[in-house]
Each structure stands twice: as C-alpha cells, then as structure tokens.
C-alpha cells in the first residue's frame, strides 16, 4: 500500500466496483462494463488492479496484466473532480512498482493518439512510442499509439523512475538526476 499526500493506493476489491464503474463511465467513450472488472478480479490470474482513495473514497484506478516478463497496462483513470492532482501519476508509479515486484522486465500500453496528456506522463516515465494500431478504438476508429518502456531493470530506467518518484513524493531527487 502506498500513501502520499492523503491519497492511499492499494488493491481493488469487489466492493470498489460501483465507484470504479462511475469513474469508467465518466472517463471513456466506450467504458468497460462492471462485469468486465468482476471477471478481472475474480478470474484473471494475470490481472492486477489498484485503486486510489481520498478519505476512503475511490478517486482513481489502474490495472495491468502480467504475462511472463511483460506487463500490459489495461487502464488508468481518475474521477473528473480529482484530476490535475497527480493522482494518475501516483497510480502509474504504484503500477510500475507492482509490475517490477511481480518480475516484469517490460511494460507496454496503448494510448489514444489525441491523449497527449497521458502520452506526456508516460514519456516522463521512460515509455517510448514503438508503433501505431490504426483504427484501434471502436467508438471513433481513432489510432492507438503503442508505447513501451524497454527493460525496467536497466540503470537508465531505474534512475529516471527513482528521480520522478522522489519529485512526486515531494522529496529531494536522488543525486545524479534522471538518466
């Protein structure tokens, strides 16, 4: 469990799904239905889902699948009224921590071509564009940019990750700064 600036991040549970579904519907043009999350939590052994809480209320969530040594980010969303408070960044950091804890060497994701804010956050954490999935999103046939971290255990990734985390947590970054 991670606690930062009155935001607590921990595992998603079944009783979080009503709020997760609300945030999902407010965040995505084609939201996942509640039963998709039910399946992820109950049946998908490859899945890991986390929630961010403020005052015991779910305000954001993220998830991934770990397949062998690769983590695939499936979702990340923050309630509209809690955006621009770096909660999405905290969720990404917690997810990367969990991916590494579970033995992932690589992290990948797809992001809408028009979602430049998310792309900027991912680049900050070492994701690089490696391809495009044309017409990926079913609601409007928008392209998805495929992003990839490279090896998360390499020095350059670790130095950037530690620097960004320290800055996020309000502490002094480790000496040497980001790689």
Per residue in 10-43, pLDDT tens? 999 999 999 999 999 999 988 999 999 999 999 9
Distance from the first to the final alpha carbon of the chain: 27
* CATH fold of 2-168: Aminopeptidase (3.40.630)
Look up 122 and say whether it is catalytic. yes
Give the pLDDT score at 13: 97
Q: Does residue 81 register a pLDDT over 60?
A: yes
Q: What are the domain boundaries of the chain?
A: 2-168
What's the rounded Cα separation, in Å, for the pair 153 and 95?
15
From 110, 136, 137, 169, active-site residue: 110
What are the residues facing 145 on neighbouring strands?
A: 111, 132
What's the rounded Cα separation, in Å, for the pair 175 and 179?
11
What are the residues facing 10 on neighbouring strands?
A: 51
Question: Strand order in 2-4's β-sheet?
Answer: 2-4, 7-11, 47-54, 57-67, 70-78, 106-112, 144-148, 128-133
Q: How far is CA 95 from the centre of its chain?
A: 6
User: Worst-scoring range by mean pLDDT, 2-16, 27-41, 72-86, 114-128?
Assistant: 2-16
* CA 97 to each of CA 81, 92, 152, 162: distance values in angstroms, whole numbers, following the listed order: 26, 9, 10, 11
Mean pLDDT over 54-75 rounds to 96
What's the rounded Cα separation, in Å, for the pair 91 and 78?
9
What's the rounded Cα separation, in Å, for the pair 31 and 20?
11
Give the pLDDT score at 3: 44
Angle (deg, nearest 10), helices 116-124 and 87-101? 50
| Global confidence as pTM | 0.90
Give the pLDDT score at 77: 97
Mean pLDDT over 55-84 rounds to 96
Over residues 85-113, the pLDDT tens digits come to: 999 999 999 999 999 999 999 999 999 99
């Amino acid at each position: 469990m991670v606690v930062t600036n009155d935001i607590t991040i921990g595992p998603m549970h079944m009783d979080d799904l009503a709020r997760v579904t609300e945030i999902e519907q407010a965040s995505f043009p084609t939201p996942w239905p509640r039963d998709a999350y039910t399946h992820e939590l109950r049946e998908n052994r490859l899945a890991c889902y986390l929630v961010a809480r403020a005052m015991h209320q779910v305000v954001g969530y993220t998830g991934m699948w770990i397949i062998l040594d690769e983590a695939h980010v499936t979702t990340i969303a923050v309630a509209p009224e809690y955006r621009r408070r770096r909660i999405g960044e905290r969720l990404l950091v917690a997810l990367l921590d969990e991916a590494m804890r579970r033995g992932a060497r690589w992290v990948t994701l797809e992001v809408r071509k028009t979602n430049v804010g998310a792309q900027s956050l991912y680049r900050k954490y070492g994701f690089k564009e490696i391809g495009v999935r044309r017409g990926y999103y079913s609601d409007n046939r928008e392209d998805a940019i495929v992003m990839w971290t490279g090896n998360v255990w390499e020095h350059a990734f670790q130095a950037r990750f530690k620097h960004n985390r320290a800055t996020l947590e309000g502490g002094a970054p480790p000496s040497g700064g980001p790689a």
